[in-house]
Structure 1
Amino acid sequence: MSMTDIDTAAAPARSEPESSKRRDIIDGARKVFFEKGFDAASMDEVAKAASVSKATIYVYFSSKEELFEALVHNDRARSAEQLFEFDPSIDDVESLLRRIGISFMTMMVQPDHIRLVRMVMSVAERFPRVGRTFFEAGPCQGGQRLANLLRQQADLGRLAIDDDLAAAYAFFNLCQSNQVKGLLFGVNAPPSPAEIAATVERAVRVFLAYYGAQRSGTRPPRR
């Protein structure tokens, strides 16, 4: 790609917010990657889907790997935000956990999420940074945000927690049961809302059986 191409491509970006053009490219990339997979997707196809020139893409992203990494980061950050959207006036920890669990599982079983996880796993060995981005922007961020919420509930006397982060991951793992693994390997059909609700209900009961405030005398001291 010549400097002339770059200059020509950069001109439209100066006439509109950079974030808007970048978002258009990522949205186009999402369509192509989800349809073709990472390896089969081409930057020409991404350019067509985003209604930009290929030169314009390279103004914002130096490679297909960098573009995919940006897509992964955006999708995981957006999912984390949606997961923790709830009424802050809720003071019933059981209802709060149930709300988060159902939101979490509804997101986890979406076909696009399953496709994204499969793609990340397929390239993580070749491009470890992509795998790290997914892990840090997804499981790590979600786990830390739930850990902070659980600590707030514990400080209010509603839970008895010794390790905030371990408790957060325990809850997410209980909610997943075997449903997500079944989808990843193409064994199971997506669970219905009723099946998700039933699985989350079990997760909430098991979680509270161990971390409920009424069992505070059995908890080891917080580290």
Structure 2
Amino acid sequence: MSKVQQNKEKKKQAILEAAQRVFISEGFVQASMDEIAKRSSVTKQTVYRYFPSKAELFEATLRKMGEVTHGGFSPYLELANTEEALTGFAKEFIEAHLCDEHLATLKLLINESSQAPELTSRFYSVGPDNTHNQLSRFFEERFNSDNPESLVSLWTAMLLSQRTGVLLGKEKPNTQQIEQHAWDATQFLLAAIPLR
């Protein structure tokens, strides 16, 4: 990568990091491109050169945040042992969805979805839909199932059940509780579906 390309990438990452802080603290509707430019130490025109609209910047910010968490659980699906693959995925999946960044993003979406409904579709396009598709392919390969999408929805709902309490103010579960929950949900799934 040339020096010019490195500088461009550095600016882009600075913009994304500033945008994440601004979106989470001020919300999508109230977030200003001026503030994002100021916090990333670039001009507003530079922000628009990289991201032509606030909605596109928001989507890129979600994608960047998702890369950090998504990279942790997807590799488990490559394990040959189905039980180990699902249990490892489940633990990392739960932890990723209980991290402060994810919870803050979810609260942002809940608070602002009525004023900016396109936020929800952008959020699903960069994260949950991709994960759902990956899991559906995994379930198709590993289980005799006529409807893998339904199984994925049911299993991930079980995995995310702790998140609802945390969003409502309950204390986050500790590592041991997360591991136990991941194990229990996976064993429940495996008991309901025969392996190929």
TM class by smaller structure: 0.7 to 0.9
Answering whether residue 189 of structure 2 is matched by residue 199 of structure 1, we say: no
Aligned partners of 1:52 and 1:58: how far apart in 2? 11
* Count of paired positions: 193
RMSD: 2.3
Match of 2:150 in 1: 166
- Runs of 5+ in structure 2 lacking a partner? none
Match of 1:98 in 2: 87
Aligned partners of 1:137 and 1:62: how far apart in 2? 18
Instruction: Note if contact 2:76-2:86 (Cα within 8 Å) is conserved in structure 1.
Output: no
Instruction: Note if contact 1:80-1:141 (Cα within 8 Å) is conserved in structure 2.
Output: no
Return the letter of the residue paired with 2:193. Answer: Y
Which of 166, 187, 196 is the matching residue for 1:183?
A: 166
Rate the CA distance shift 1:117–1:87 in 2: closer, same or farther, 3 A. closer
Answering whether residue 20 of structure 2 is matched by residue 30 of structure 1, we say: yes
Instruction: Note if contact 1:146-1:168 (Cα within 8 Å) is conserved in structure 2.
Output: yes
Aligned partners of 2:119 and 2:63: how far apart in 1? 9
Instruction: Note if contact 2:37-2:47 (Cα within 8 Å) is conserved in structure 1.
Output: yes
* Aligned-residue identity in percent: 24
Q: Please give the TM-score of this superposition, normalised by the length of structure 2.
A: 0.86
Q: Please give the TM-score of this superposition, normalised by the length of structure 1.
A: 0.76
Per-residue deviation, residues 126-174 of structure 1 (Å, max 9, x unmatched): 32222101112222111110111122223xxxxx322111111221111
Which has the bigger relative contact order, CA under 8 A and spacing at least 6? 2
Aligned partners of 1:166 and 1:131: how far apart in 2? 21
